[in-house]
Amino acid sequence: MDDVEKYLHTRSQEDSAFDSEYTQAKLNQQLGYAVWQLRTDMQLSVKDFATVIGQSEQDVTAMEDGSKELTVKELSDIAEKTDKKINFQFS
């Protein structure tokens, strides 16, 4: 574990608000990567993908960079509009 990981681990244990926000940020990054992967697998530009899912280019960018918290409803809508299925798993 490097110094940054140690800090994050310690801070998360000591501050429940930090832990909650840090956990949400990690989830946002993972979901953002999944949206980016879907778009690139479809070989679509941000603009074209935004059109397909009925969102703005800014929203797609925010989804992909993890700054937008996606709801299950939003993920379901994206899956429906791209004719994909969502797979959730706990590990």
90 occurs within a structural domain: no
Q: What would the pLDDT profile of 46-87 be if each residue is shown by its tens digit?
A: 999 999 999 999 999 999 999 999 999 999 999 999 999 999
76 occurs within a structural domain: yes
CATH code where residue 56 lies = 1.10.260.40
Q: What would the pLDDT profile of 6-18 be if each residue is shown by its tens digit?
A: 999 999 999 999 9
88 occurs within a structural domain: no
pLDDT band, residue 89 (cuts 50/70/90): confident
CA 31/CA 5 separation, integer angstroms: 21
- The C-alpha angle 88, 74, 26, rounded to 5 degrees, equals 55
State how far the alpha carbon of 90 is from the alpha carbons of 5, 87, in Å. Answer: 22, 10
